[in-house]
Amino acid sequence: MSSIVFQTIKNRRSIRRLLTKKIPYDILEKILNAAIWAPSAHNSQPWRFIVIRDEQTKKNLANSMAEIWKKDLKRNNLSTKDPEKVIEDSVRTFTDPPVLILVCLTMVDMDKYSDKRRKEAEFTMGIQSVANSIHNILLMAHVENLGACWFCAPLFCPKTVRNILGIPKNVYPQALITLGYPAEKPIAPKRKSLETIIYQNKWENEQ
């Protein structure tokens, strides 16, 4: 069993090109059920999920996020060979897949502190908990022969995402997961060797 788990982890890939073929809702439920069994700080389960399948909602979200990105590219002097093509590809990334899952963080059940240091630590713990749920989504999607990719675009335009999807101000959009049947088979990326990233007992100087 351990080898099966390891192979699932090792063989999973970020799939960016997806077919438009619809995903049965019972499979979506399996994936979301896997998400809610992730570990979380204090068992607070601070994740919330918006499953987006409506075509117009996907278009509104993708176009609005693209506009923000276009302004950021200009503001930060990040030139590209063909900025319009980059933006067009970005919109397609979030409109072609049959399903988007917006993953959000809520602090409602996290511990409450009065001092800034512990407040910030608690917020980070909430983010880490949400990240655990996202990883479960990616793994379960792979098990169900689906492709998925984790995008952090909502972090750069939370107000826009909130407005389009009616999200309260005290809920924090964290990531968009694109989900669908794979239209590509990416090559396995290289991984750093254990010897270069693991230290025993204390930090050692990096070479």
Q: At 207, is the pLDDT very low, low, confident or very high (cuts 50, 70, 90)?
A: low
Q: What angle do CA 133, 125, 29 make, to 5 degrees?
A: 15
- The mean pLDDT value for 169-185 works out to 97
Give the residue from 17, 8, 12 showing the smallest Cα distance to 181: 17
Alpha-carbon torsion angle 141, 138, 53, 17, nearest 10: -90
Sheet strand arrangement including 47-52: 47-52, 99-106, 171-180, 147-151
- Beta carbons within 8 Å of 60's beta carbon, 6+ residues apart: 164
The domains found in the chain, sorted by start residue, are 12-180 (3.40.109.10)
Q: At 102, is the pLDDT very low, low, confident or very high (cuts 50, 70, 90)?
A: very high
pLDDT on residue 59: 96
- Beta carbons within 8 Å of 6's beta carbon, 6+ residues apart: none
d(CA 181, CA 84): 27
Q: What is the pLDDT of residues 21-60, one digit of tens each?
A: 999 999 999 999 999 999 999 999 999 999 999 999 999 9
Q: Answer yes or no: is pLDDT of 70 > 90.
A: no
More confident residue, 80 or 133: 133
The pair phi, psi for residue 83, each rounded to 5°, is: -60, -35
pLDDT on residue 80: 62
More confident residue, 52 or 81: 52
- Beta carbons within 8 Å of 203's beta carbon, 6+ residues apart: none
Percent of the chain at pLDDT above 90? Answer: 83
